[in-house]
Amino acid sequence: NGQVVDFSGHAGLAAAFIELKAVRQSIADKEKREAELKQMLQQAMGDASRAEFTSGYISWRKTKDSIGLDVTQLLKDKPYLQAKYPLLKPGARRFLVG
């Protein structure tokens, strides 16, 4: 609806906003570190599918192949199908932090 509210004078909400930004940054930092550690372990595993440690294990296996439908190619070959079977996907509210 385009309505704008001003929370700049609300100390509680301003603090929540600042904490939200800090939490998101912390999550991003931890996800980056997780990716680095995962890559290090996967590289060390090579072709092995399991690695054992005193405190547990990790496994890295290929999933089974699956068959899907190439909708893009189907609509390219049979464009009338999109007009015959339309599907309206309603939009959703997105929560963005700026």
Q: How far apart are CA 46 and CA 52, in angstroms?
A: 14
How confident is the model over 48-96, as pLDDT tens digits?
A: 999 999 999 999 999 999 999 999 999 999 999 999 999 999 999 999 9
Quote the pLDDT of residue 58. Answer: 98
In three state form, how does the secondary structure of 31-60 look?
HHHHHHHHHHHHHHHCCCCEEEECCEEEEC
Question: Are 21 and 98 in contact, with CB atoms under 8 Å apart?
Answer: no
Cα(97)–Cα(49) distance, integer angstroms: 40
Question: Residue 2 — very low, low, confident or very high, per pLDDT cuts 50/70/90?
Answer: confident
Say how far apart CA 58 and CA 49 lie, in whole Å. Answer: 8
Write out pLDDT tens, residues 31-53. 999 999 999 999 999 999 999 99
